A and B are shown apart, each in its own frame.
Chain A
Amino acid sequence: MARTRAPELTLLPSEEPLSLLREDGSPVEDSPLAMPDDDVLVELHRRMVIGRRFDTQATALTRQGRLAVYPSSRGQEACEVGAVLALREQDWLFPTYRDSVALVTRGVSPLGTLTLLQGGWHLGYDPYEHRVGPQCTPLATNTLHAVGFAHAARVKGEDTAALVMLGDGATSEGDTHEALNFAGVWRAPVVFLVQNNGYAISVPMSKQNAAPSLAHKGIGYGVPSVLVDGNDVAAVHAVVRDAVASGGPVLIEALTYRIEAHTNADDASRYRDSAEVAAWLARDPVDRIEAYLTSRGLLDTARREAVAAEAEEFAAHTRAVMNADVEPDPAELFEHVYATTPAHLREQAAALREELA
């Protein structure tokens, strides 16, 4: 499909979410978005399959006691993968606790991704190596880090954009509004991707927001806004790609659904009914891209099996590294509080050493 020019970004999001693929996988002919190239679509599919398998594996590891907790992003693969693969090498990702699939898509190792949830340490990777900030547990605080980071890039004359991920609940936090305002005033190259999965733990959208959409929240800050079908990986990829290319702030609301509970510790049946979950299962983002690729002759049985085998291998690797017992060094407690260890921490480190001797 011929690539058309990216549409002009406007403050007012569309009434209906932008899409490139219908729920049955057939293409939307009159979409204002340009369809990603075939090789990109094939890669998006591959990473979604690997991401989903990784997510399932992480959930299983929780049941085995290897992870303290795991917030699944099953059903949100189009957002996780579509957005991350739209970033350029030099761009930065500021993820939340639910964005583990985004991390592995960015190249962070399974162990690095899961260290936080495993309890070995608060972070298992070097942010500078992958250009990925620490997964943020407080809601919306990472939006401001992304704005500051992007502004600094501009001050330094670097062509770097920051993509910050947040959920629907986080749009109610004050920091989201301060970040949108700062980004609007500074014209910072930052992309806010709101994954609206319907619930902030148990609180539904109807109790979270009175605006026509979460994307509408950009209007008051002068930040161009896009509403996109979050289960359409081609569309998510296209809007993030265009937002990064715009060089300014963009707010994207991706409409999606969290198939699993908030975390393994949550009982989702207390606040949503099974018919709703079933309806969203029928809009599966992986099935959709598979149907499209198959119809285009870009995915056959052999390719499908090869991708599935690769995903299995990734899951097996994840299991292997996570099944090793972790024994963090207690001495490290005192090493990273300040650049140099002050006297009172040296005393406490010595006391702990003695206690352990």
Chain B
Amino acid sequence: MAGALNKALADALEADPGVLVFGEDVGALGGVFRVTDGLAARFGDARVFDTPLAESGIVGTAIGMAMNGLRPVVEMQFDAFAYPAFEQITSHLAKMRNRTRGRVGLPVVIRVPYGGGIGGVEHHCDSSEAYYTHTPGLRVVTPGTPDDAYRLLRDAIDCPDPVIFLEPKRRYWAKGEVTSSGSASPGPGFDRALVRRAGRDVTLIAYGPMVATALETAEAAAEEGWDVEVVDLRSLAPFDDETVCASVRRTGRAVVVHEASGFGGYGAEVVARVTERCFHHLHAPVLRVTGFDTPYPPPKLEEHHLPSVDRVLDAIARLQWDDEVVGSARA
């Protein structure tokens, strides 16, 4: 996936001279995860460059550059490192179009490597999506596969609005074919969810790092006779009600899976939307499988925090309390 992101950045820099890539260590080092590897050498340090170590400065200057006609793509290095930039993101980046009644749009992409599962120490493993999705004016997207990483990042850079681009860092090394090329590649659309695996009994709603976990769970569930559908949200904001609700209406059961803490989390929004729109199709409450409501744990305990295949399977089992209804749903 890191390679797909690198290719997307390179192709975007090639396609548009207004695109700039900057942040901490993105130049000579190529980023701590090597996502920007080789870009400074290829495009020069006027377009791909290291900044002082200051996240508010990175986002704040990106806002000024975008006001002056450029398309900055900035890196926050790690999820929790973005918090010093929170004011710039919420008070200015998200609101500039609205404040100026549409006169000033900010085509800025903020790349945030997020989530756990890599044995990182504290402040390196947060899932901060709910902070961003709660902010009107921001688009928040996260890829679940290498192919989608390429496509979503190209779309994000082309987008006239600011995009929080959450990169699931535990999937950086995931292998997968990248079939997309160019921003106009056929796809579901920038703000559409995708059914990654069709199934009839239960819908697993996942995104980012949990897409792989959900697909794995679906395979395991198949052995127990449950036909599980997996929806990859891709775009957390705006939310694709249409695709998600169509799936849940087919299956009548749903589980939302994410790494972030559950309380006040993004999953609560998904459950609420699904319940409001699909209540009469539901055979069981919509469940969540999330990280615990604790600060992200130290590396030796993170396996207990992160949603596992077993935990998702348990949730699916809890939905199957009415075999008769399951039977009629299958009919």
- Taking Cβ atoms with an 8 Å cutoff, the residues of A that contact B are 121-123, 126-128, 133-134, 138, 141, 143-153, 155-156, 162, 174-175, 178-179, 181-182, 185, 332, 335-339, 342-344
- For the complex, is B262 an interface residue (Cβ under 8 Å from A)? no
Beta-carbon contacts under 8 Å, B86-131 to A: 87-88, 91-92, 95-105
Closest Cβ of chain A to B52, distance in Å, is: 5
Closest Cβ of chain A to B56, distance in Å, is: 6
Docked CA distance A144–B12 (Å) = 25
Docked CA distance A127–B104 (Å) = 8
Q: Which of B46, B51, B67, B159 contacts A127 (CB 8 A)?
A: B67
Q: How large is the interface on B (under 10, 10 to 19, 20 to 34, 35 or more residues)?
A: 35 or more
Q: Is the CB of B98 within 8 A of A148?
A: no
- Taking Cβ atoms with an 8 Å cutoff, the residues of B that contact A are 20, 46, 51-52, 54, 56-57, 59-70, 84, 87-88, 91-92, 95-105, 136-137, 139, 159-161, 191, 238-239, 241-242
Q: Which of A122, A138, A155, A185 contacts B98 (CB 8 A)?
A: A122
Q: Is the CB of B63 within 8 A of A145?
A: yes
- Point out the residues of chain B lying under 8 angstroms from A337, CB to CB: 97-98, 136-137
- Point out the residues of chain A lying under 8 angstroms from B92, CB to CB: 138, 141, 145
Assuming the A-B contacts A145-B60, A336-B102, are A185 and B52 also in contact, with contact meaning beta carbons closer than 8 angstroms in the complex?
A: yes
Report the nearest B residue to A129, measured CB to CB.
B103
Q: Which of B46, B139, B241 contacts A155 (CB 8 A)?
A: B46
- Point out the residues of chain A lying under 8 angstroms from B101, CB to CB: 121-123, 332, 335-336
Closest Cβ of chain B to A131, distance in Å, is: 11
Q: Which of B84, B103, B239 contacts A174 (CB 8 A)?
A: B84
Q: Is the CB of B57 within 8 A of A181?
A: yes
Docked CA distance A171–B70 (Å) = 28
Assuming the A-B contacts A122-B98, A138-B91, are A182 and B69 also in contact, with contact meaning beta carbons closer than 8 angstroms in the complex?
A: no
> Could you list 27 examples of A-B contacts with CB < 8 Å?
A128-B103, A134-B96, A138-B91, A144-B60, A144-B61, A144-B88, A145-B63, A145-B92, A147-B61, A148-B60, A149-B67, A151-B61, A151-B65, A152-B64, A153-B68, A156-B70, A175-B60, A175-B87, A178-B52, A178-B60, A179-B60, A182-B52, A336-B98, A337-B97, A339-B159, A339-B161, A344-B239
Assuming the A-B contacts A138-B91, A151-B64, A337-B137, are A343 and B241 also in contact, with contact meaning beta carbons closer than 8 angstroms in the complex?
A: yes
- Point out the residues of chain B lying under 8 angstroms from A344, CB to CB: 238-239, 241
Q: Is the CB of A122 within 8 A of B87?
A: no
Assuming the A-B contacts A156-B68, A343-B242, are A134 and B61 also in contact, with contact meaning beta carbons closer than 8 angstroms in the complex?
A: no
Please report the number of residue pairs spanning A and B whose Cβ atoms sit closer than 8 angstroms. Answer: 135
Closest Cβ of chain B to A94, distance in Å, is: 8
Q: Is the CB of A145 within 8 A of B64?
A: yes
Closest Cβ of chain B to A310, distance in Å, is: 30
- Point out the residues of chain A lying under 8 angstroms from B46, CB to CB: 155
Given A127-B104, A178-B57, 16 new contacts (CB under 8 A): A122-B100, A122-B101, A134-B100, A141-B87, A141-B91, A145-B63, A148-B62, A148-B68, A152-B65, A152-B68, A174-B84, A175-B57, A175-B87, A336-B101, A339-B159, A344-B241
Report the nearest B residue to A178, measured CB to CB.
B57
Q: Is the CB of B99 within 8 A of A134?
A: yes
Q: Is the CB of B54 within 8 A of A178?
A: yes
- Point out the residues of chain A lying under 8 angstroms from B62, CB to CB: 148
Q: Is the CB of B91 within 8 A of A179?
A: no
What are the nearest 4 A-B pairs in CB distance? A148-B64, A144-B60, A148-B61, A178-B57
Closest Cβ of chain A to B73, distance in Å, is: 14
Docked CA distance A146–B67 (Å) = 10
Report the nearest B residue to A335, measured CB to CB.
B102
Docked CA distance A49–B191 (Å) = 53
Q: Is the CB of B65 within 8 A of A149?
A: yes
- Point out the residues of chain A lying under 8 angstroms from B52, CB to CB: 178, 181-182, 185
Docked CA distance A148–B136 (Å) = 23
Q: Is the CB of B70 within 8 A of A339?
A: no
Docked CA distance A335–B136 (Å) = 12
Q: Is the CB of A145 within 8 A of B67?
A: yes
- Point out the residues of chain A lying under 8 angstroms from B59, CB to CB: 144
Closest Cβ of chain A to B170, distance in Å, is: 29
Report the nearest B residue to A183, measured CB to CB.
B61
- Point out the residues of chain B lying under 8 angstroms from A336, CB to CB: 97-98, 100-102
Docked CA distance A179–B51 (Å) = 12
Report the nearest A residue to B88, measured CB to CB.
A141
Closest Cβ of chain B to A29, distance in Å, is: 41
Assuming the A-B contacts A336-B101, A336-B102, A339-B97, are A144 and B137 also in contact, with contact meaning beta carbons closer than 8 angstroms in the complex?
A: no
Docked CA distance A152–B63 (Å) = 10
Closest Cβ of chain A to B154, distance in Å, is: 17
Q: Is the CB of B100 within 8 A of A150?
A: no
Docked CA distance A253–B97 (Å) = 32
Q: Is the CB of A146 within 8 A of B64?
A: yes
Assuming the A-B contacts A127-B103, A332-B101, A339-B160, are A149 and B68 also in contact, with contact meaning beta carbons closer than 8 angstroms in the complex?
A: yes
Q: Which of B63, B87, B99 contacts A148 (CB 8 A)?
A: B63
Docked CA distance A214–B280 (Å) = 65
Most B C-beta atoms less than 10 A away, residue of A174, A175, A336: A336
Docked CA distance A141–B66 (Å) = 15
Docked CA distance A95–B178 (Å) = 46
Q: Is the CB of A123 within 8 A of B99?
A: yes
Closest Cβ of chain A to B250, distance in Å, is: 20
Q: Is the CB of A127 within 8 A of B100?
A: yes
Docked CA distance A175–B88 (Å) = 9
Docked CA distance A123–B92 (Å) = 13
Closest Cβ of chain B to A337, distance in Å, is: 5
Closest Cβ of chain B to A122, distance in Å, is: 4
Q: Is the CB of B100 within 8 A of A181?
A: no
- Point out the residues of chain A lying under 8 angstroms from B242, CB to CB: 343
Report the nearest B residue to A339, measured CB to CB.
B160
